[in-house]
Amino acid sequence: MEEKLISHQNMISLVSDLIKANHLVIGQDDKSIGWKRIADAAEIKINHSGIPSNVSYKEFVFAKTEPIFYYKNKKDDFDLVEPNLEERKIVFLGSKPCDARSIEIMSKVFNWDYKDKFFNQRAENSIIFGVACNYQDEFCFCTSVGLTPTTENGSDIFLVPLAENNYAFRIVTDKGKDFIKPYEKYLSDGNSNLSTEALSKIKHPEKRFESEKVRKWITGNFEHKLFDKVGETCLGCGQCAFVCPVCHCFDIVDEECNYSCGRRMKNWDACQFGLFTLHGSGHNPRDNQGKRYRQRIAHKFKYYTDKFDEILCTGCGRCSRGCPVGIDIAAVASEINFVANQV
Amino acid sequence: MGESNIYKPELMEVTEIIDETIDTRTFRLQFKDKELAKNFSFKAGQFGEYSMFGEGESTFCIASSPTRPEYIECSFKQIGKVTSSMRRLSVGDTIGFRGPYGNYFPVEEMKGKNVLFIAGGIGLAPVRCVIWNVLDLRDQFKDITIVYGARSFNDLVYKRELKEWKERKDIKTVVTLDPGGEVPDWDGEIGFVPAIVEKTAPKSENTVAIVCGPPIMIKFTIPVLTKLGFKEENIITTLENRMKCGLGKCGRCNVGNVYVCKDGPVFTYAQMKDLPQEY
Amino acid sequence: MNELREKAKELLNAGTVKVIIGYAESTTPNRTKPIIVRTIEDADKLVFNKFCVNNLAIYLTRKEYKNKGTVGIVAKGCDVKAIVQLIQENQINKDDIYIIGVNCSGVVSELGQEFSSETIATKCLNCSVRTPHLHHTLIGAIEEMPKRNDHNFETMQKLEAMSSDQKWNFWEAEFERCVKCYACRQACPLCYCERCIADKSIPRWIESSAHTRGNFSWNIIRAFHLAGRCIGCNECERACPAEIPLSLLNRKMGMVAKKEFDYTAGIGLDTPTLVGTYDVNDREEFIK
């Protein structure tokens, strides 16, 4: 790892160059709702001490809606046409550690056996400028899922806010190193003592639960009343899945443009929806909200870990912050820990 | 990027349409691309995603036998958007297909053994695929018994084949209808599948049982098989869950941590017993 | 607080109600969350404060509670509007619910905030039902309510002044963020359809994709389905992760209903519903 230094002014120049080089620079929007393409370098906002955006930036890698092919009807036959894929580099600017790992985590499911090129192409083109996180509220729980506010893993470049609007500019991966080469003029020599000191001042959220305990507990407690209790007030709105940086379930639907052509779309979907698992026969294996919530917890802390050795959660707390009925996933996991400890 | 598009189907032509029941139809399909048709292979029990462009995709098992690789067949009931539009197709029309996906019945390991097929309703479709696979290699298997039941005479699928199987001397075929579902000249059994299995009493020694049908039928058939001495690992069934991708990505077909589309759809009862009730 | 808990225990003990839908303290400050109380023990978790934003009427149309004995519900005036509307629309039976009405002096707009004149919810600003207009028992007292300008109304006025193109651009930018999670629908007490039009696929009326066309058709059709029915609790807006100002649409619809038909949703238990009645003298000025 190499340590450099960049001033805020140079950061603006760097971003300006990146935009000119026709890279897609993705930054957080002003209202902290979501992420958007930055058109003007002066607008950049590196959110290291503010609340995470409502919605994560996963849509730029795992699109909320995208065509997977187009079809054209010719007399008795069809032409299937591949969509064009985004070939530009996608630069995520100011990704907190709880976002920075999201692409790596999701790439496991998009690559076991069958490879999803739509995800992969964008994932490979992504350059992640992570930033040490100096924000913490009662919903943050990165430390319960193996991350910390200073985790560099997942970032290609890692920024550490220093005094006087400077950032320590740590080059974490080879991908980051290659990418930044043409722009080295904006970097000056870094002093790792400064960044180490800055990092040491960052408070880590208290660990709220052991995810391994949740994983083990679910196996024998699939029918536990705890899930029904959550399901009782859960509205099944699915905002939790849509704001989550690693929820990746999707739907496939066709859209007609007219009588002779159309496209097949891959759209975000959520396990909290009743229709998600509804069979054609009318049978539904997850026929109440408790079962659907169990799927959410189990997928995150058990199934994904069993299959891919990753926790499908980064502890960003978005789902809990946004839940209209106050369901806090970390509180549920903590309760599971508590129940598991009782036995 | 050289990666292929895993969601893009291949085009197939509907070459034959057979009406099974009032709402169930069988399509015979052949790949339009000759090269692909030559190289395509699958195993008994695998499934595919069938596309109607502009409507969507539906998941059905491949109901024909891998010993007849020049075509595939699927049987479907008209239920939703895709199956309704499939019903409007005629011979010569085009349909999309992705597959084959999932695991398969252990036909290789079944060689040299007796095979008992038990099916209910449209659950005969995945079983039929194995039946023809086994019948096409008849001399490699020992005794073959088929027990098939449906709610009523009109609900029996593959009627012409049932007749053919009944007439064959080298297999035993029992067809039953639920009480009240028979027609005046019905010459088969009357009664629910589990009871008929018990009555037929196939031997369990060196026998593999393949069971597909509605959950309620499976639920009551398994104790009968256990009573007859079948081992849990010799009772094999297929699970169905709603699917979209068939590729282990879209996240809806899992039963606990098992993805039906990739770890299934074929499971032994020994495996099923450990799964949570989520199917 | 004690008043509420004692009342809840009394109702449960007497068997007047089987369950009480109410608010409980959350694990995090300045928040509450819905709770379904079935036991005396749980009744002690009930609270009512400035953070009881949720409209609990949403739970009344759930299968678990419908036609399964009397359900108690802790309700502010605005929640009672939803209850009245649901009764008018024959979704719940008046005799199947027991309303524990609470006098309300405003709630926060977003959970987690301190309550102040800055954070008081828009719906509270012009509230006409601080004492619930329908209740079986009433608790709490009316206190002074903080005042602030109605920014939402100011935005509405700005929108009114815009040309069609400008309006389109405004909404296009807002809907752009829609992720099609349907949290707006799920949080809405009046969105009780067993099968929402958005979930119907034969034919598919509303494209499920979160692109401009799909987002417009969903959000506009939902607004129309709520015209003359929306009681203005703003739960849709609060649930929306993309912070789309849905209240601007719903409030506009409500104002049209008021102006054209002198109708306010959720007020009169015996008034027929706006969309369920027809009068030859109805004005049609809103159709353009």
Q: Are residues B38 and B57 in the same domain?
A: yes
Is the residue at B5 inside a domain? no
Do the bridges between strand C97-102 and strand C137-139 make them parallel or antiparallel, or are there none, so unpaired?
Answer: parallel
Q: Taking CB atoms and an 8 Å cutoff, what residues of chain B touch C201?
A: 56, 80-81
- Distances in whole angstroms, Cα of residue C229 to Cα of each of A180, C94, C102, C267: 56, 18, 23, 11
pLDDT band at B1; cut points 50, 70, 90 = very low
Residue C275 located in a structural domain = no
Within chain B, residue ranges assigned H as helices are: 34-39, 81-87, 107-110, 124-136, 159-167, 193-200, 215-227, 269-273
Q: In a mutagenesis test of the B interface, which of A263, A264, A278 is the best target, namely the one with the most B β-carbons within 10 Å?
A: A264
pLDDT surpassing 80 at residue C176: yes
Task: Give CA–CA dist B101/A25, Å, rounded.
Answer: 38
Q: Which helix (H) or strand (E) holds C11?
A: helix C2-14
Distance from CA of C277 to the nearest CA of A (A): 31
- Residues C135, C162, single domain; the answer is no
B225 and B119 in a common domain: yes
- Tell whether B250 and B163 lie within a shared domain: no
| Residues of chain B with C-beta less than 8 angstroms from the C-beta of A250 | 244-245, 249-251
Nearest CA distance, C63 vs chain B (angstrom): 21
Do B73 and B45 fall within a single domain? Answer: yes
Range of the domain at B61: 10-101
Residue C280 falls inside a structural domain = no
Distance from the Cα of residue A199 to its chain's centroid:
23
pLDDT at A76: 75
Ramachandran area for residue C234 (φ above 0: left; ψ -120 to 50: alpha; else beta):
left
Burial class (CB in 10 A: 0-12, 13-18, 19+), B194: buried
> Whole-angstrom Cα distance, residue B88 to residue B70?
24
Same domain, C62 and C118: yes
CA distances from B50 to B29, B98, B246 (A): 11, 7, 11
Q: Write out pLDDT tens, residues C129-152.
A: 999 999 999 999 999 999 999 999
Same domain, C75 and C157: no
* Pair (B230, B113) in one structural domain: yes
Are both C171 and C133 inside the same structural domain? no
Q: A277 and B241 in contact by Cβ < 8 A?
A: yes
Average confidence score pLDDT of chain C: 93
Distance CA B196, CA B176 (A): 7
For residues B215 and B247, state if they share a domain: no
Asked whether the beta carbons of residue C181 and residue A270 sit closer than 8 angstroms, the reply is: yes
DSSP single-letter state for residue C209 = S
Alpha helical stretches, state H, B80-192? 81-87, 107-110, 124-136, 159-167
**Is residue B122 domain-shared with residue B210, that is, in the same domain?**
yes
Tokens of B66: 């891998």
Residue ranges with strand state E in A52-165: 65-74, 77-81, 90-95, 126-131, 157-161
Provide DSSP, C88-147.
Answer: HTTSS-GGGEEEEEE-----BSSTTSPPSTTTB-HHHHT-S-SS-SS-SEEES-------
Q: Are the Cβ atoms of C242 and A325 closer than 8 angstroms?
A: no
Residue A2: predicted pLDDT:
87
Give the helix/strand (H/E) hosting A24.
Answer: strand A24-28
The reported pLDDT for the residue numbered B3 is 78
- Using the structure block, give the residue that is written with the tokens 């930036």: A57
Does residue B1 form part of some domain? no
- CA-CA-CA-CA dihedral for B258, B263, B268, B272, to nearest 10: 10
Give the mean pLDDT of C116-125: 94
* Residues C155, C134 share a domain: no
Pick from C128, C100, C115, C116: which is nearest to C17 by CA?
C100
Shared domain check, C107 and C17: yes
C-alpha distance from residue A21 to each of A12, A111, A127, A183, C120 (Å): 14, 30, 14, 11, 46
Check A120 against B3: CB less than 8 A apart: yes
What pLDDT is recorded for position C121? 95
Tell me the per-residue pLDDT of B184-198, one tens digit each, with 9 for 90 and over: 999 999 999 999 999
Clarify whether residues C135 and C157 are in a common domain. no
Indicate the Cα dihedral angle A32, A35, A36, A42, nearest 10°: 60
The verdict on residue B3 lying in a domain is no
User: Of B54, B93, B249, which is closest to A256 when you measure between CB atoms?
Assistant: B54
**Does residue C146 fall inside a structural domain?**
no
- pLDDT tens-place string over residues B223-278: 999 999 999 999 999 998 999 999 999 999 999 989 999 999 999 999 998 898 88
Alpha-carbon distance of C217 to C88, in angstroms, equals 28
Q: Quick count: other Cβ atoms within 10 Å of Cβ C13?
A: 10
* Residue B170: inside a domain: yes
pLDDT of residue C287: 67
Strands A24-28 and A90-95, by their bridges, are parallel
pLDDT band per the 50, 70, 90 thresholds, residue C286: low
Domain-ending residue, one of C109, C139, C169: C139
Q: What is the pLDDT of residue C119?
A: 94
pLDDT of residue C288: 62
Identify whether the C-beta of residue C54 lies closer than 8 Å to the C-beta of residue C110. Answer: no
pLDDT number for residue B2: 58
Contacts of C30 (CB under 8 A, 6+ apart): C51, C108, C111, C112, C113, C114, C115
Tell me how many helices (H) and strands (E) chain A has.
Answer: 13, 12
Are residues B119 and B82 part of one domain? no
8-state DSSP, B44 = T
B74 lies in some domain: yes
Q: How many domains does chain C have?
A: 2
Q: Residue C269 — φ and ψ, nearest 5°?
A: -65, -30
- Pairing relationship of beta strands A24-28 and A35-37 according to DSSP bridges: antiparallel
Backbone dihedral angles phi then psi of residue A196, each to the nearest 5 degrees: -60, -40
Chain C: touching chains (3 or more CB pairs < 8 Å): A, B
C127 and C193 share a domain?
A: no
* C7 and C135 in a common domain: yes
The interface pTM score, or ipTM, of the predicted complex is: 0.91
Query: Is B213 found in the same domain as B249?
Result: no
pLDDT value at residue B160:
94
pLDDT digits 0-9 by tens, A217-243 = 998 999 999 999 999 999 999 999 999
Contact C23, C54 (CB under 8 A): yes
Q: Is residue C285 part of a domain?
A: no
CA distance A82 to B1: 13
**C-alpha distance from A232 to closest chain C C-alpha (Å):** 7
C126 and C174 within one domain: no
Give residue C67's pLDDT: 74
Residues C106 and C79 sit within 8 Å (Cβ to Cβ): no
Domain count, chain B: 3
Alpha helices in C226-273 (DSSP H): 235-239, 246-261
Q: Are residues C53 and C104 in the same domain?
A: yes
CATH number for the domain including B90?
Answer: 2.40.30.10
With a cut of 70, list the residues of chain A below it in pLDDT.
none
CA distance C122 to C155: 12
3-state helix, strand, coil in chain C (%, to 5): 35, 10, 50
Q: Quick check: A277 and B242 CB within 8 A?
A: yes
C-alpha C86/C-alpha C70 separation (Å) is: 15
One-letter amino acid at C125 equals L
- Cα B176 to Cα B174: distance, rounded to the nearest angstrom: 7
Report yes or no on C238 lying in a domain: yes
Q: What angle do CA B103, B106, B110 make, to 5 degrees?
A: 170
Q: What is the pLDDT of residues B137-164, one digit of tens each?
A: 999 999 999 999 999 999 999 999 999 9
Which residues, 6 or more positions from C273, have their beta carbon under 8 angstroms from its beta carbon? C85, C88, C89, C228, C229
> Does residue C203 have a cis peptide bond before it, meaning omega lies within 30 degrees of 0?
yes
Interface list for B 80-99 with C (CB within 8 A): 80-81, 84
The answer to whether residues B155 and B230 belong to one domain is yes
Same domain? B222 vs B173: yes
Whether residue B270 lies inside any domain: the answer is no
CA-to-CA dists, residue C288 to B7, C141, C255, angstroms: 45, 46, 16
Question: Between chains, do C186 and A243 touch, taking CB under 8 Å as contact?
Answer: no
Burial class (CB in 10 A: 0-12, 13-18, 19+), A40: exposed
Do B74 and B176 have their domain in common?
A: no
Domain hosting residue C87, numbered range: 2-139
pLDDT, tens only, B17-55: 999 999 999 999 999 999 999 999 999 999 999 999 999
Cα–Cα distance list, C284 to A286, C75, C256, C259, C261 (Å)? 46, 35, 11, 11, 10
Q: Do C248 and C191 reside in the same domain of the chain?
A: yes
Nearest Cα residue in chain B from C200: B81
B79 shares contact with chain C (CB less than 8 Å): no
* Cis amide linkage into residue B100, ω under 30° from 0: yes
H-assigned helices in A174-288: 174-180, 192-200, 211-220, 225-233, 239-243
